Chains A and B, each alone.
Chain A
Amino acid sequence: MTMTSTNRGSKARGAALAAVVPLLLVAACSSGSGSAEGEDGEIRMMVNLTDNLNQAYWEKLVKPFEDETGLKVKIEGPTGKSVAESFPQQLAAGTAPDVIQSIFPDDDTAPELIDLGGEAWAKGTPMFDEYAMGDAHYAVGVGTQTQSLVYYNKTAFEKAGISRPPTTWDELTKDLGDLKKAGYTPMQTAGDFQTGLQLQQIYHPTLNQLHPKWQTAVADDQLSVGDAYEPAFQMYADWIKAGYIGKSDVGLSPSQADGNFTAGKVGLYTNGSWFAASLDKAGDLPFEVGVFSPPAADGQAYPGPQGATMANPYMIRKGTGDEDGAKQLVEYLVTDAEAVEAQLGSDGVFRKGAEPKRSGVDAQIQGILDDAPALVAVGEGQGNVRLPVTGFNPKFTEIAQSLYTGAGPADAAKSIDQWVDENR
C-alpha cells in the first residue's frame, strides 16, 4: 500500500509556492504538542482515500467496532497529497490524528508513536517482525503487498511461441525478443514513479539473493548502492537499446501504461499486487492474464525472495486522548476475522495462507506469496533493514530514466552513489 500511496494516484497538490511555503513554515513553527483531540469518545483515524477505498468503505469497516464498543471513529482523509505527507505536517501543527493508516514509522516519526510490541494481539500480525525498529514495533498490518510480480499476456506468449514464464534473466531476455518479433510491446513501462519502481521490483529477488539485506550492508558501508544495482542498470540499458522497452515510454503516465497492458498490446508488465485491483476493475480483457515471480540470480533457486511491504499498516500516535480506545480499534482492524476479510483483496492486500474468494489473477498472486522463500524489504527499506538516506525511490527513478536519455550503466551507478554520499 505504501508504494502505491506514496508514488501513484492523484497529484492534487498545486498551491503556489508563495502561499505554500509560508503555510508550511507556519505549521513547522507551531509549538503544538501534537495532542489535538477529537470530541469525547471519538477516535480520529487518517486513511488514504482512493476510488474504491473511499469514505463509505472505511465507515462500513469500522461500524461493527463502533456498535460493539460505543466509541466513535472519525475517518479523515489526508489534508495533503497523501497520508505520508499530511501526518508529519499535522504532527508539526499539533493536529495529528489518533490512528494513522497506510504509512510506516521512520526515525523522525517513531518517537511520536506508541510501541505496540507489548500487545499480545499484535504479535501474530503479518510482517510484525520485519517492521521492528530496534526492539520496538510501531506498525501492525493486515497483510502483505507483494511488489515483485510480472504480469503477462498469455495470448501474446502463445503467439510468440513462449511455452512457460521465464525463470532466468537469459530466458527473460530471449522472451522479450520473441514478443517483439510477434508484434507486441515486449515490456511496458511509464514515466513518473513507475520507471524506477519497476526496475526495483523486477530486480528485488536477484538483488536480495546476491546481497541479502542489502540496505543494511549499504548502511554499514559494506556495499554501495551503485555496485548493487549496476548489473540491473546494464540489463535495463540493453533492453532499451534492443527496443524491448519503448524509449518514449518514459513520457507516458502510469495509467496510460496500465491501459496499454489491458488493451492487449503488451507482453510483460512489472507491477505490484495492487495492479490486480485495476485488472478486476478493467472487466473482461481480450486475453488471459498470467503472473510470475521475476527471475532468480544465476545459479540460485527460483523463485527468489519477494519484495514486500506490510499492507494496511496502522500506527497509534503517542499522546492520543484515548490510548486504550485507539488500541482497541487497531486490534479490531488487524485481528477481527470479518474486518481482515473485508480488507483482504482491496488494493492488492494479500496474506500468507489466506483463502479468500479471488479471481484467477489473485489466486496466482496468492500462490507466489505462499511460495516465496522470504519477504524482503524494498527500496529505502523498512524496520531495521534500511538505507541511511531518505528519498531513495524518486532519486532512483530519476537515475533509471537517465538510462533512456544517454547515460550508461556505470554513470547511473556513479550518480546514485554520489547522491547517497551527499544525503547520508
Chain B
Amino acid sequence: MERTSVSKPRAWRDLGARVSMVVPAVLVYVALLVVPVIYAIYYSFTEYNGFPHRVPEFVGLDNYRTMFGSDDITGTMVVTAVVAVVGAVAVNLAALGLALLLRRTNRFNTFGRVVMFYPHVLSALVVGFLWQAVLGPQGVVNTMLEKVGTDSLPFLSDPDWALWSMILVIVWSLFGVQLILYLAGLQAVPADLLEAARIDGASRWQTFRAVTWPSLASTVTVAVITSGISLLKTYDVVVSLTGGGPAGSTKTLAYSILAVSFPQRDIGLASAQAVLLIVAAAVLAITVLVLRRRAEDDAESIG
C-alpha cells in the first residue's frame, strides 16, 4: 500500500513532465499545419479574394467543379501525376543503384557520396536556371551539337521533350537525399545474413533479392513516400527551367496554385487545388504503407 501511495505522485509528475514536453510541439504543429489545412478546406468551399473587408461567400462544391471541369487544371493534374510517379521511380532507382555502388567506405566512395549529394544542396531555382543554360536552345548541349554539325534537340522547346527534361532535372536535384537514406538503410542490413548467403553460394542478384531488399523495406517505404511528396509539390524547377511551357506542357498543380490561382486572388480555387494535393499526398503515403504491410504479411505467412 505504501509503495503504491509513494509511486502515484511520481507517476503524475512523470506524466506532467511528458505532457509539458509534448504540448509545445503539438501547439506549433496544430498552429502551423492543422489550422491552415482546416482553413484551406473551409476556403475551398468559398469564393474569396483574401482581403479583410471581403467576407468569404459559401459556394459549396463550385471550386471543385471548376477544378475538375477545367481542361487547364486537369491538364496540370496529369502532368503532376506523371512527374510524381515517373520521378519517384527514377529517383529511387538512381539512389538505390548508387547506394549499392557506394556502400563500402573508402576515399573514392566518400568523395562520390559528397558529389552525388551536391545537387540537393543547390536551391531548386538555381538548379532550373543551371539546366536552362545546359539544355536550352542556345545551351551547352545544343551549341556542341551544332558545332559537330548535328541538328539541335528541342529539350525545352517541344512539349514532350520539355516534360521529360524537367523530370530528369528534378530527379537529378532530388536523389541525393534518397541516396543518404539508402546508404543508411544498407548499413543496417545484417552482415551475418550477407555472409551466410555468400557462403551458401548465392549470386549478387540472389543476395540482393533475398537479403538486402527485404532488409531495406522500411527504407524504401520512407524514400518512396518522401520523394513522391516532394515531386507532388514540384514548383521551383518549373519556374526556373520552363516557366510552365511550352504551351503549358510542364505546368504542375503546385505551379498552377502559386503562379496562377493565388496571384489572381482566387483563394477558393487555389485552396481546392491545395486540398487536392494534400489528399494526393495522403493517398500516396497510405498506398505505399498498405503495400508494404501486405508484403510483410505475405512474407510472414510464407515463413
A binds B: yes
Within the complex, the shortest CB–CB distance from A407 to chain B, in Å, comes to 7
Determine if A401 is an interface residue (Cβ-Cβ < 8 Å).
yes
**Which one of B49, B54, B249, B266 has the greatest number of beta carbons of chain A within 10 Å?**
B49
| 1/0 contact string of B257-276 vs chain A (CB within 8 Å) | 11110111111000100100
Interface residues on A, range: 35 or more
B72: contacting residue among A22, A253, A422, CB under 8 A: A422
B66 near A108: Cβ-Cβ < 8 Å: no
Of all chain A residues, which has the CB nearest B126?
Answer: A14
- Residues of chain A within 8 A (CB-CB) of B235 are 14, 16-17
A111 near B53: Cβ-Cβ < 8 Å: yes
B136 near A405: Cβ-Cβ < 8 Å: no
Determine if B214 is an interface residue (Cβ-Cβ < 8 Å).
no
**At the interface with chain B, which of A40-48, A131-139, A214-222, A243-251?**
A243-251
Determine if A77 is an interface residue (Cβ-Cβ < 8 Å).
no
- Assembled-state Cα–Cα distance A407/B154 (Å): 17
| 1/0 contact string of A398-410 vs chain B (CB within 8 Å) | 1101101101000
B52 near A419: Cβ-Cβ < 8 Å: no
**At the interface with chain B, which of A29-37, A157-165, A175-183?**
A29-37
**At the interface with chain B, which of A86-94, A320-328, A341-349?**
A86-94
- Residues of chain A within 8 A (CB-CB) of B40 are 21-22, 25
Tell me the total A-B contact number using a CB cutoff of 8 A: 157
- Assembled-state Cα–Cα distance A418/B70 (Å): 9
**Which one of A25, A88, A251, A419 has the greatest number of beta carbons of chain B within 10 Å?**
A251
- Assembled-state Cα–Cα distance A300/B188 (Å): 79
- Assembled-state Cα–Cα distance A391/B277 (Å): 22
A11-B157 contact in complex given A28-B50, A88-B265, A391-B260, C-beta closer than 8 Å: no
- Assembled-state Cα–Cα distance A21/B258 (Å): 8
Determine if A24 is an interface residue (Cβ-Cβ < 8 Å).
yes
Of all chain A residues, which has the CB nearest B271?
Answer: A25
Within the complex, the shortest CB–CB distance from A237 to chain B, in Å, comes to 13
Determine if A54 is an interface residue (Cβ-Cβ < 8 Å).
no
- Residues of chain A within 8 A (CB-CB) of B132 are 253
Within the complex, the shortest CB–CB distance from A399 to chain B, in Å, comes to 8
Determine if A13 is an interface residue (Cβ-Cβ < 8 Å).
yes
Of all chain B residues, which has the CB nearest A18?
Answer: B233
A404-B52 contact in complex given A88-B265, A256-B136, C-beta closer than 8 Å: no
B206-240 interface with A by 8 A CB criterion? 233, 235-236, 239-240
A94 near B137: Cβ-Cβ < 8 Å: no
Determine if A53 is an interface residue (Cβ-Cβ < 8 Å).
no
| 1/0 contact string of B51-83 vs chain A (CB within 8 Å) | 111100000000000100111100000000000
**At the interface with chain A, which of B30-38, B90-98, B293-301?**
B30-38
**Which one of B36, B247, B262 has the greatest number of beta carbons of chain A within 10 Å?**
B247
A32 near B52: Cβ-Cβ < 8 Å: yes
Determine if A191 is an interface residue (Cβ-Cβ < 8 Å).
yes
| 1/0 contact string of B114-151 vs chain A (CB within 8 Å) | 00000000011100000010001110000000000000
B243 near A192: Cβ-Cβ < 8 Å: yes
Within the complex, the shortest CB–CB distance from A146 to chain B, in Å, comes to 25
A251-B136 contact in complex given A191-B245, A404-B157, C-beta closer than 8 Å: yes
A248: contacting residue among B54, B157, B239, B271, CB under 8 A: B157
Determine if A130 is an interface residue (Cβ-Cβ < 8 Å).
no
- Assembled-state Cα–Cα distance A256/B137 (Å): 10
A404 near B247: Cβ-Cβ < 8 Å: yes
Of all chain B residues, which has the CB nearest A389?
Answer: B264
B267 near A11: Cβ-Cβ < 8 Å: no
Within the complex, the shortest CB–CB distance from B40 to chain A, in Å, comes to 5
Determine if B167 is an interface residue (Cβ-Cβ < 8 Å).
no
A248-B260 contact in complex given A28-B39, A32-B52, C-beta closer than 8 Å: no
A91 near B262: Cβ-Cβ < 8 Å: no
Within the complex, the shortest CB–CB distance from B32 to chain A, in Å, comes to 6
A394 near B39: Cβ-Cβ < 8 Å: no
- Residues of chain A within 8 A (CB-CB) of B263 are 84-85, 391
- Residues of chain B within 8 A (CB-CB) of A32 are 52
Determine if A390 is an interface residue (Cβ-Cβ < 8 Å).
yes
Determine if A112 is an interface residue (Cβ-Cβ < 8 Å).
yes
B43: contacting residue among A23, A28, A404, CB under 8 A: A28
| 1/0 contact string of A371-413 vs chain B (CB within 8 Å) | 0000000000000000000110011011101101101000000
Of all chain A residues, which has the CB nearest B69?
Answer: A422
- Assembled-state Cα–Cα distance A92/B48 (Å): 11
A13: contacting residue among B54, B137, B258, CB under 8 A: B258
- Assembled-state Cα–Cα distance A18/B69 (Å): 25
B154 near A28: Cβ-Cβ < 8 Å: no
Within the complex, the shortest CB–CB distance from B227 to chain A, in Å, comes to 14
- Residues of chain A within 8 A (CB-CB) of B246 are 191, 250-251, 401, 404-405
B152-190 interface with A by 8 A CB criterion? 152, 154-159, 162
- Assembled-state Cα–Cα distance A162/B54 (Å): 58
- Residues of chain B within 8 A (CB-CB) of A11 are 125, 239-240
B245: contacting residue among A18, A34, A112, A192, CB under 8 A: A192
A250 near B157: Cβ-Cβ < 8 Å: yes
Of all chain A residues, which has the CB nearest B154?
Answer: A248
- Assembled-state Cα–Cα distance A390/B270 (Å): 14
A250: contacting residue among B245, B258, B259, CB under 8 A: B245
Determine if A26 is an interface residue (Cβ-Cβ < 8 Å).
yes
Determine if B244 is an interface residue (Cβ-Cβ < 8 Å).
yes
Give me the interface of A with B, judged by CB distance under 8 Å. 11-14, 16-18, 20-34, 84-85, 88-89, 91-92, 94, 108-109, 111-112, 191-193, 195, 246-253, 256, 390-391, 394-395, 397-399, 401-402, 404-405, 407, 418-419, 422
The 7 nearest A-B residue pairs measured at CB: A251-B157, A22-B36, A251-B156, A248-B137, A14-B236, A17-B233, A401-B247
- Contacts A/B (CB < 8 Å), 28 sampled: A11-B125, A14-B123, A14-B125, A14-B235, A14-B239, A17-B257, A17-B274, A22-B36, A22-B37, A25-B40, A25-B271, A30-B52, A34-B51, A85-B263, A88-B50, A89-B50, A108-B49, A108-B54, A111-B51, A191-B243, A192-B243, A251-B136, A252-B138, A256-B138, A394-B260, A397-B245, A398-B247, A404-B247
Seed contacts A246-B137, A422-B72; 16 additional CB < 8 Å A-B pairs: A17-B277, A21-B257, A21-B274, A88-B50, A88-B51, A191-B156, A191-B245, A195-B245, A252-B136, A253-B136, A256-B138, A390-B264, A390-B265, A391-B260, A419-B72, A422-B66
